[in-house]
Amino acid sequence: MEPWIALSVAAAAFQTLRFMLQKHLSTGTLSSGGATLARFAYSVPFIVTLTLGYAAWTGAELPRLTGLFWAYALTGGLTQILATWCVVALFAQRNFAVGITFKKTEVIQTVLVGLVVLGDRISLPAFAAILLGLIGVLVLSDGAGMQGNWTRRLWNRAAGLGLASGAFFAVSAVGYRGATLEVGSDDPLLRAGVSLAVVTVAQTVALGLWLNWREPGQLAALWSARRTAVWMGITGMAGSLCWFTAFTQQNAAYVFAVGQIEVIFSLAASVLVFNEKISRREALGIALLTASILGLILLN
């Protein structure tokens, strides 16, 4: 097994744990913005310490960062904030597994972003797999209890939040891959660590200032929730470090495609941890989207 595949699977596992904690904090303890900041703020001490410690242990000098690195990194950081915020807000609309599956349209949208931005070509069979995934999204968006014509069932808040999170995550992934490739080092772990440390610090400062202005009470609530939030920071840091390291070795679309195993992880969490039930329609949507992603893996 190639290292980037194992890293993608590990990242999906850590990310599932982090979203489980985020769902818990966003259902009464923190607002969507506060739960989003928790993911970044409590990661900062761990990733900065880990990166500096790794550089000292290996004797490597911290690389100089180019202007293009900052452009990629800050774009990725901003879109990840927006994507995470959408996912946390989505938890209030649908159950855990379906919310994560909406988010996982990121893999399809990453392929499309790569086509538009980087000129990556997509084969006809791969395009068919993308269409299958879109059908899965349409099935998922047609939620239980939604009455009325097809436009109302399709254009609902849950569908919009899910698709928006996928789009933001897609742009974020491309930005992060670009940032890691701009770091002047042959060590993939150092490149990933430096990129992640810079991004996470920037995200914490930016979102912290925003919440201090718009939701000042959330900063105190975030500190009060530290016993749970610190684990969100640890799992978030571990997952992001796996993603970033995988990005240094492979195209972001392929990394996210393998990471679709998170759908299975989240389904298990939904049933076993949150005692939520999956409807037949939702199971069909999840199956179609998963089949689409597996098709993309096999066809590329």
What is the per-residue pLDDT across 280-298, written as a single tens digit (0 to 9) for each? 777 787 788 778 777 766 7
CA distance 99 to 101: 5
Average pLDDT over residues 179-205: 92
104 band by pLDDT with thresholds 50, 70 and 90: low
Alpha helices in the chain (DSSP H): 3-26, 32-41, 44-58, 67-90, 96-103, 106-113, 124-141, 150-154, 157-182, 188-214, 217-224, 226-247, 252-258, 261-272, 280-299
- Among 86, 81, 92, 90, CA closest to 210: 81
Give just the sign of the alpha carbon dihedral 204, 206, 207, 208: positive
What is the per-residue pLDDT across 119-143, written as a single tens digit (0 to 9) for each? 666 677 777 877 777 777 667 655 5
CA distance 54 to 298: 36
pLDDT at 267: 67
What is the per-residue pLDDT across 220-229, written as a single tens digit (0 to 9) for each? 888 887 887 8
Is residue 36 a contact partner of residue 229, using CB atoms and an 8 Å limit?
Answer: no
Q: From residue 53, how far is each of 48, 61, 65, 95, 121 by CA, in Å? A: 8, 11, 19, 40, 40
Supply the DSSP symbol for 91: T
What is the per-residue pLDDT across 20-67, written as a single tens digit (0 to 9) for each? 776 666 556 677 788 778 888 999 999 999 999 999 999 988 888 999
Angle between helices 226-247 and 188-214 (to 10 degrees): 140
